[in-house]
Protein backbone atom coordinates (compact mmCIF):
# COMPACT_ATOMS: atom_id res chain seq x y z
CA UNK A 1 0.00 0.00 0.00
CA UNK A 2 1.36 3.42 -0.83
CA UNK A 3 -1.72 5.54 -0.08
CA UNK A 4 -4.43 4.38 2.30
CA UNK A 5 -7.75 3.79 0.50
CA UNK A 6 -9.59 6.35 2.67
CA UNK A 7 -6.98 9.03 1.97
CA UNK A 8 -6.82 8.20 -1.75
CA UNK A 9 -10.61 8.48 -2.06
CA UNK A 10 -10.57 11.83 -0.23
CA UNK A 11 -7.74 13.20 -2.38
CA UNK A 12 -9.67 12.22 -5.50
CA UNK A 13 -12.90 13.77 -4.19
CA UNK A 14 -11.04 17.03 -3.56
CA UNK A 15 -9.26 16.91 -6.95
CA UNK A 16 -6.09 17.43 -4.92
CA UNK A 17 -2.80 18.20 -6.61
CA UNK A 18 -0.16 16.03 -4.90
CA UNK A 19 3.02 14.06 -5.40
CA UNK A 20 4.25 10.93 -3.66
CA UNK A 21 7.75 10.66 -2.29
CA UNK A 22 9.20 7.24 -1.49
CA UNK A 23 11.81 6.77 1.22
CA UNK A 24 13.39 3.90 3.15
CA UNK A 25 11.08 2.34 5.74
CA UNK A 26 10.89 4.35 8.96
CA UNK A 27 8.91 4.06 12.18
CA UNK A 28 8.46 7.70 13.16
CA UNK A 29 7.63 10.96 11.44
CA UNK A 30 10.93 12.47 12.54
CA UNK A 31 12.80 9.55 10.95
CA UNK A 32 10.67 9.90 7.79
CA UNK A 33 11.73 13.54 7.48
CA UNK A 34 15.40 12.56 7.77
CA UNK A 35 15.04 9.63 5.34
CA UNK A 36 13.22 11.79 2.78
CA UNK A 37 15.65 14.71 3.22
CA UNK A 38 12.94 17.23 4.13
CA UNK A 39 12.81 19.69 7.04
CA UNK A 40 10.86 18.38 10.04
CA UNK A 41 8.85 21.58 10.22
CA UNK A 42 7.39 20.72 6.77
CA UNK A 43 6.31 17.19 7.73
CA UNK A 44 2.87 17.12 9.34
CA UNK A 45 2.16 14.39 11.88
CA UNK A 46 -1.14 13.39 13.38
CA UNK A 47 -1.64 12.86 17.10
CA UNK A 48 -4.91 11.27 18.20
CA UNK A 49 -6.32 12.34 21.54
CA UNK A 50 -9.56 11.49 23.29
CA UNK A 51 -11.81 12.88 25.94
CA UNK A 52 -14.71 11.17 27.69
CA UNK A 53 -16.83 11.23 24.55
CA UNK A 54 -14.81 11.37 21.35
CA UNK A 55 -11.50 11.33 19.50
CA UNK A 56 -9.79 14.38 18.04
CA UNK A 57 -6.88 14.71 15.61
CA UNK A 58 -4.18 17.26 16.35
CA UNK A 59 -1.69 18.00 13.57
CA UNK A 60 1.76 19.34 14.42
CA UNK A 61 5.10 19.51 12.59
CA UNK A 62 7.22 16.38 13.10
CA UNK A 63 9.87 18.64 14.64
CA UNK A 64 7.43 19.41 17.49
CA UNK A 65 5.61 17.44 20.10
CA UNK A 66 2.08 18.08 21.26
CA UNK A 67 1.81 20.25 24.36
CA UNK A 68 -1.18 18.70 26.18
CA UNK A 69 -1.42 21.62 28.62
CA UNK A 70 -2.00 24.05 25.76
CA UNK A 71 -4.52 21.69 24.24
CA UNK A 72 -6.39 21.33 27.57
CA UNK A 73 -6.47 25.12 27.91
CA UNK A 74 -7.73 25.60 24.33
CA UNK A 75 -10.46 22.95 24.63
CA UNK A 76 -11.47 23.85 28.17
CA UNK A 77 -11.24 20.24 29.34
CA UNK A 78 -8.73 17.44 29.71
CA UNK A 79 -7.85 15.01 26.95
CA UNK A 80 -5.41 12.14 26.85
CA UNK A 81 -3.46 10.39 24.16
CA UNK A 82 -5.29 7.53 22.45
CA UNK A 83 -3.65 4.14 22.91
CA UNK A 84 -1.94 2.37 20.02
CA UNK A 85 -4.75 -0.21 19.97
CA UNK A 86 -7.39 2.52 19.75
CA UNK A 87 -5.54 4.26 16.92
CA UNK A 88 -5.10 1.00 15.03
CA UNK A 89 -8.89 0.40 15.21
CA UNK A 90 -9.65 3.99 14.12
CA UNK A 91 -7.36 3.76 11.07
CA UNK A 92 -7.69 0.16 9.85
CA UNK A 93 -6.46 0.98 6.35
CA UNK A 94 -3.14 2.42 7.62
CA UNK A 95 0.00 0.79 8.92
CA UNK A 96 0.38 1.26 12.65
CA UNK A 97 2.00 4.64 13.29
CA UNK A 98 1.56 5.95 9.72
CA UNK A 99 -1.62 7.98 10.07
CA UNK A 100 -2.31 10.65 7.43
CA UNK A 101 -2.93 14.00 9.21
CA UNK A 102 -6.10 14.68 7.24
CA UNK A 103 -8.79 14.12 9.85
CA UNK A 104 -11.72 14.97 7.60
CA UNK A 105 -10.87 11.95 5.41
CA UNK A 106 -11.60 9.80 8.46
CA UNK A 107 -14.39 11.86 10.02
CA UNK A 108 -12.36 13.48 12.81
CA UNK A 109 -12.50 17.01 14.14
CA UNK A 110 -9.03 18.39 13.54
CA UNK A 111 -6.88 21.06 15.14
CA UNK A 112 -3.68 22.10 13.35
CA UNK A 113 -0.66 23.86 14.79
CA UNK A 114 -0.49 27.35 13.27
CA UNK A 115 3.30 27.03 12.76
CA UNK A 116 2.70 24.30 10.20
CA UNK A 117 0.40 26.44 8.11
CA UNK A 118 3.18 28.92 7.30
CA UNK A 119 5.00 26.39 5.11
CA UNK A 120 4.95 26.65 1.31
CA UNK A 121 4.96 22.85 0.95
CA UNK A 122 3.70 20.20 3.36
CA UNK A 123 4.58 16.51 3.47
CA UNK A 124 2.64 13.86 5.37
CA UNK A 125 2.30 10.12 5.88
CA UNK A 126 0.35 8.30 3.19
CA UNK A 127 -0.74 5.43 5.41
CA UNK A 128 2.41 3.34 5.24
CA UNK A 129 6.00 3.72 6.42
CA UNK A 130 7.60 4.14 2.99
CA UNK A 131 5.75 6.95 1.26
CA UNK A 132 4.93 10.57 1.91
CA UNK A 133 2.44 12.85 0.19
CA UNK A 134 3.63 16.32 -0.86
CA UNK A 135 1.12 19.16 -1.31
CA UNK A 136 1.34 22.93 -1.36
CA UNK A 137 0.60 24.69 1.91
CA UNK A 138 -2.56 26.07 0.32
CA UNK A 139 -3.67 22.60 -0.83
CA UNK A 140 -3.02 21.22 2.67
CA UNK A 141 -5.20 23.94 4.17
CA UNK A 142 -7.98 22.99 1.74
CA UNK A 143 -7.60 19.28 2.58
CA UNK A 144 -7.96 20.03 6.28
CA UNK A 145 -11.45 21.31 5.61
CA UNK A 146 -11.50 24.31 7.94
CA UNK A 147 -9.51 22.79 10.80
CA UNK A 148 -8.91 25.19 13.69
CA UNK A 149 -5.44 26.72 13.71
CA UNK A 150 -3.92 26.93 17.20
CA UNK A 151 -0.50 26.95 18.90
CA UNK A 152 -0.23 23.36 20.10
CA UNK A 153 3.33 22.20 19.63
CA UNK A 154 6.72 22.80 21.14
CA UNK A 155 10.05 22.40 19.35
CA UNK A 156 11.80 19.15 20.10
- The per-residue pLDDT for range 20-37, each reduced to its tens digit, is 998 888 878 888 888 889
- The class level of CATH for 5-155 reads alpha beta
What is the per-residue pLDDT across 7-16, written as a single tens digit (0 to 9) for each?
999 999 999 9
Question: For the CA atoms of 114, 10, 23, 99, what is the dihedral angle to 10 degrees?
Answer: 60
pLDDT at 156 over 70: no
d(CA 109, CA 134): 22
d(CA 79, CA 62): 21
d(CA 87, CA 73): 24
pLDDT at 19 over 70: yes
Spatial neighbors of 132 by CB under 8 A, at least 6 apart, are 20, 21, 23, 32, 36, 38, 43, 123, 124, 125, 126
Instruction: Provide the whole-model pTM.
Output: 0.91
Spatial neighbors of 76 by CB under 8 A, at least 6 apart, are none
pLDDT at 152 over 80: no
What is the per-residue pLDDT across 75-102, written as a single tens digit (0 to 9) for each?
889 999 999 999 999 999 999 889 999 9
Q: What is the DSSP letter of 152?
A: -
Amino acid sequence: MSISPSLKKYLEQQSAQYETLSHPRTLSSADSAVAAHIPGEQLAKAVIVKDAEDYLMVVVPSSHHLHLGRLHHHLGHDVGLATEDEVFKLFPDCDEGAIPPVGVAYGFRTLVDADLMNQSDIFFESGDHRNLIKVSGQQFSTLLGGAEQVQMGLDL
